[in-house]
Amino acid sequence: MNNHYSFETLQVHAGQEVDPTTLSRAVPLYQTTSYLFKNSEHGANLFALKEFGNIYTRLQNPTTDVFEKRIAALEGCVAALAVASGTAVQFIALNNILLLGDNFVSTSHLYGGTYNQFKVSFKRLGVEVRFAKSEDINEYERLIDAKTKAIYLETISNPGFSIPDFEEFAKLAKKYDIPLIVDNTFACGGYLFRPLEHGASIVVESATKCKISTLSTQN
């Protein structure tokens, strides 16, 4: 669905293609784990990624597909990925760009679960998180070195409610050619703020507070 529709319309209809057989207005809940293949060649093409389609619901599901497309529309991004939890999406967003010995810089004003994952879980994997003591941009830049692979912020910090200067942080990330990752949970999935429109590279958010557990990318 085109993003020129209002936010309210996108919330209700984005990502859905109405089933031509049932004409159901609501998105169906597909509870299947598996899918049929038209023939052996069709199945082989799907598993070889030569053809798009459903293989196994852990990889893709029609209900989840609508959900992801709807969030992408609300955040104004190209695509979104739904996963099991907020901490899972944080891990996926960072683990895909971090290697043993790398580090990333983050605010110290973080949700408790996020702080513990960064300080404890990533440390076990050989990845260091460097917590800035304030939202001063210079404090962040001081912590960046050749092994820094990302900057991580929250749109509105939980529970401190601090709000970073996103344009300045976007400039800093661009200066060092690293992604700016933003947890947009408290901004309600693009309703209050769209980080991608202010220089963020990746947006993550959690369903338990506002909407979803997704990873959204600008390109």
Do 198 and 166 reside in the same domain of the chain? Answer: yes
| Cα separation, 66 vs 45, whole angstroms | 23
Give 213's pLDDT tier (boundaries 50, 70, 90): very low
Q: What is the pLDDT of residue 108?
A: 87
Give 211's pLDDT tier (boundaries 50, 70, 90): very low
pLDDT tens, position by position, 112-162: 999 999 999 999 999 999 999 888 999 999 999 999 999 999 998 887 788
Q: What is the 3-state secondary structure (H, E, C) of 118-160?
A: HHHHHHHCCCEEEEECCCCHHHHHHHCCCCEEEEEEECCCCCC
What is the CA angle 148-88-179, rounded to 5? 30
Do 65 and 113 reside in the same domain of the chain? Answer: no
Do 121 and 62 reside in the same domain of the chain? Answer: no
Average pLDDT, the chain: 87
Which of 26, 56, 75 lies at the terminal end of a domain, its last residue? 75
Which of 75, 104, 121 lies at the terminal end of a domain, its last residue? 75
Give 217's pLDDT tier (boundaries 50, 70, 90): low
Q: What is the pLDDT of residue 75?
A: 87
Q: What is the pLDDT of residue 212?
A: 44
Do 146 and 89 reside in the same domain of the chain? Answer: yes
Do 67 and 88 reside in the same domain of the chain? Answer: no
Q: Of the candidates 83, 81, 99, which has an alpha carbon nearest to the alpha carbon of residue 215?
A: 81
Do 39 and 88 reside in the same domain of the chain? Answer: no
pTM for the structure as a whole? 0.82
CA 70 to chain centre: 13
In a domain, 2, yes or no: no
Which structural domain range is residue 27 located in?
A: 7-75
Which of 18, 44, 75 lies at the terminal end of a domain, its last residue? 75
